[in-house]
Amino acid sequence: MRVSLRKSFGFESAHWLPTFPEDHKCRRLHGHSFRVDVVVEGDVPEEAGYLVDFGVIKAAIKPIEEALDHRCLNDIEGLENPTSEMLAKWVWDRLAKDLPMLSEIHVHETCTSSCVYRGR
């Protein structure tokens, strides 16, 4: 049986987008209530009956959540241009070694705007 598991976390952060045109509203400092979905995928071992303990995913997420929450994302190394696309890749790069079954990072910047990154 093949399954996908999704564990979400949220954080509050400010950012500004330095590559946007000078007169664009996102060029100014502003904040979001971000939500990130971390998705792992694989075949469930019949003898175990589960893919991975959600607690393992939560533990891998914790340092990332702490690094991002209540920060100016532009001040974080690797996020000098903190678009949703770059944030999704940044999160992936930090989780991939601890979650070998990682298949997707889904960054929700607002209720209606999001980005999916699948590590390619």
User: Which tens digit of pLDDT belongs to each residue from 4-49?
Assistant: 999 999 999 999 999 999 999 999 999 999 999 999 999 999 999 9
Buried b (16+ CB within 10 A) or exposed e, 76-94: beebebbbbebbbbbbbeb
Do 99 and 57 form a contact (C-beta atoms < 8 A)? yes
Does 109 qualify as catalytic in the annotation?
Answer: yes
User: Which one is catalytic: 24, 70, 80, 85?
Assistant: 70
pLDDT at 120 over 90: no
Annotation marks residue 80 as catalytic = no
- Our answer to whether residue 24 is catalytic in this structure is no
Domain count, the chain: 1
Domain residue limits at 9:
2-117
